[in-house]
Structure 1
Amino acid sequence: FVTVLTVQSIAPASIPLRYRPRLSVVDWTDYNHHEPAGPGTYAFGYDIEDPATNNIQFRNEERHPNGTVTGSYGYVEPDGNVRIVHYVADHNGYRYGWPLEELPV
């Protein structure tokens, strides 16, 4: 019994670490506002730009006093194309598309 525990505690230490997370400097901004337009409302978002990994993305979302949630998110694809999605969630369900004018609130 003691031998088994000793072997098990040594075995993981002898396995080489194959995954090493990439560490890089990221330009990061974020904001988060609680109840900016009264009770039950919120607004939040973030922007990320990491030159080392070419990770560029953002997200914004807001809940309005009537309960409707609107937002958008986007990112830059590896080929350089920018993708942006706008969405609305309300009594009619969840809808997304582009441009925002196609999504009545």
Structure 2
Amino acid sequence: MKCFILALLLATLASGENIFKINITPEEAQQFLNSAQLRGIGDIEYAPKTGENPLPEARNENGEFVYMGRVIEHPEEYVEEHYDAHQYHGQDGLGQFAYGYRDWNQGKNEKRDETGKVTGSYKYVQPHGRDFVANYYADKTGFHVEDNRPAHLKLPATKTPAVLKAEEEHFKLWGELAAAAGHNPDPYAPEYQQEGRYQPTEPEYQPYVHEEPPYVPGPEETGEPKGFFYAFDYNVPLLRNKEERAELERLRAINNKDE
């Protein structure tokens, strides 16, 4: 029976159907969480484009062409694109979770397993067209991340001629002043210290003790743990300038060749 339920679950996730499950058992929630990679855990894909069309005709009381409240002076230079965005989120009520989303130019996935280890990745299109991709995990050893930025060789710091000259003048002046004073000034010398130390009197100092009533769970926090999972697709309309879109696509083709 469990195998049948799991097979049905995998088929549902793979088909892209919307899922809304609440107040489910931890075991059922974990099946959804462990199958969430079918919705994007791992290699992140941007939301697929489903179509485009000229801007719908709409004008304000002044006769100006408007799109979603924005005045467009040259509507022929723009198109309305449509993307199949997606998001999902689930928890098992015992600490495990998974969530993620994808849009036309960005996406993210994150998951926490039964040991408390968190793994995730995110990706987005940078202004120069190159995809920025980061993979990370967090466990008892700390937070660790790797990304696809080019490695840069770190060279030791060097002093410029101006810095070297300033240092030389500083130490020369310091030596002259020290010689004139007879010794280097020591602010911690005994002659600069006051006798005795300040001791606060009893009324001035009262140690702070934080008192908090014992925790009592509310009625909604008792009972068997419950989980939830949802996943759904939704259409995202996007206003794109034709020239800017062409330039970004050109940059993406150049700067993502090695990906």
Q: TM-score, normalised by structure 2?
A: 0.25
Partners of 1:21 and 1:88 lie apart in 2 by 42
Q: For the structure 1 residues 86 and 21, does the alpha-carbon distance in structure 2 shift closer, same or farther, using more than 3 Å as the test?
A: farther
Q: Where does residue 44 of structure 1 map in the other structure?
A: 99
Counterpart code for 1:41: Q
Answer 1 or 2: which has greater helix percent.
2
> Who is 2:125 aligned against?
76
Residue in 2 that maps onto 1:32? 89
Give the structure with higher Rg (CA): 2
- Measured on the aligned residues, the alpha-carbon RMSD in Å equals 2.3
Structure number with the bigger relative contact order (C-alpha 8 A, sep ≥ 6) is 2
CA deviations 1:36-93 (Å, max 9, x no partner) are: xx721000000011xxxxxx00000000100000000010112211111000110001
Q: Is the 8 A contact 2:132 2:147 kept in 1?
A: no
State the AA in 1 paired with 2:89.
Answer: N
In the alignment, which residue of structure 1 is the partner of 2:140?
91
Q: Which runs of 5+ in 2 are unaligned?
A: 1-67, 71-79, 149-259
Distance 1:68 1:21, change over 3 A: farther
In structure 1, stretches of 5+ residues that fail to align are 1-19, 50-55, 100-105
Q: Structure 1 residue 21: deviation in Å?
A: 7.7
- TM-score norm. by structure 1 comes to 0.59
Structure with a larger share of its residues in strand: 1
Aligned structure 1 segments of 4 or more residues deviating by more than 3 angstroms: 24-27
- How many residues of Structure 1 are paired with residues of Structure 2 in the alignment? 71
User: What is the percent sequence identity of the aligned residues?
Assistant: 37
- 3-state DSSP class of the match of 1:80? coil
Matched position secondary structure for 1:79: coil
